[in-house]
Amino acid sequence: MDPTAPEPENPPAYIAAARRHGIPLRQSAPIKRGPMPLQLPILDHLRTKRVILASASPRRKALLNQLGLNDVEIFPSDKPEDVEKGKITPEEYVAETARRKILHVYEQALRQQEEDEQNKNVEKPADPALVISADTVIATRSGRILEKPRDEQDHIRMLKHLRDTRVHRVLTAVCVLAPKDNAAHPGYELETHVEDTEVYFAQARDGLPDDVIEAYVKTREGADKAGGYAIQGIGGMVLIDKIEGSVDNVVGLPVRKTLQLAEKVIFKQGIEDDDIGSDEEDDDEEPYQD
């Protein structure tokens, strides 16, 4: 606003009311611009493509939005999560659950494309360039797997158990899938990684007695989260003492690893990790000579 410009003859009602009551008006500060978007080849590529998140988690979507992927399509899996916990490790459990989610959603997306193509009144969506799925669980010191609390009493018991055992692990399996450039079986590239973060709960003597846990449960903040707490919210302030590892993993998606896997399934199709390492070693041993 130009301070030397003449005031309008009919100022807005809120300005006229403030003047009548002798309330001083302060000129608004200039709008601050946010940070520039992160410029990486994989992000620049995905910003123009169809990216599907096989999860209804608003936290995972928000993490991708922070990277500048604002048009992520939410396509949650409705496949029952019935992987048997008793016969496999927690790492194997989350990895298999995430893998089943991503394959189910990818198949559903392709089937939907076929149906839309047959329906002449509906525009066929673009081919999925990348599908992302994730599954998060809590692994206790005894190896027990905790997911979302069933009800309020289960929620209280769960948080007391995490407090009394002091430390637990948050495991998130992230799975990414991209269609292959050629028609080779099975038609897609798929990679999975399990991120492991240790979380230390505060103790009763440190300000986390039973009544604080019960008060937290009544906020309902952690009712829909594995382990029953949100590290990015009140839970991180009143329940958690410290963590060792990735914070965004505890939120629900290890972002850095997700980008690394996306680069591999899109830009490095058919290239094994060992091949990449051997090329780098060869470059070191035999530098280019003119």
| Active site (catalytic) residues | 135
d(Cα 228, Cα 146) in Å, to the nearest integer?
A: 9
Q: What three-state secondary structure class fits 242?
A: strand
Written as six digits, the tokens of 147 are: 């997911």
Q: How far apart are CA 267 and CA 45, in angstroms?
A: 10
Q: Are 209 and 36 in contact (CB under 8 A)?
A: no
What contacts 277, CB < 8 A, 6 or more positions away?
none
DSSP 233: S
**Residue pair 111/246 in contact by the 8 Å Cβ criterion:** no
* Residue 195 main-chain phi, psi, to 5 deg: -95, 140
Residue 198's CB: how many other CB atoms inside 10 A?
A: 13
> Please, where are the H alpha helices in the chain?
13-20, 41-46, 58-66, 90-118, 152-164, 210-219, 234-238, 247-251, 255-267, 273-285
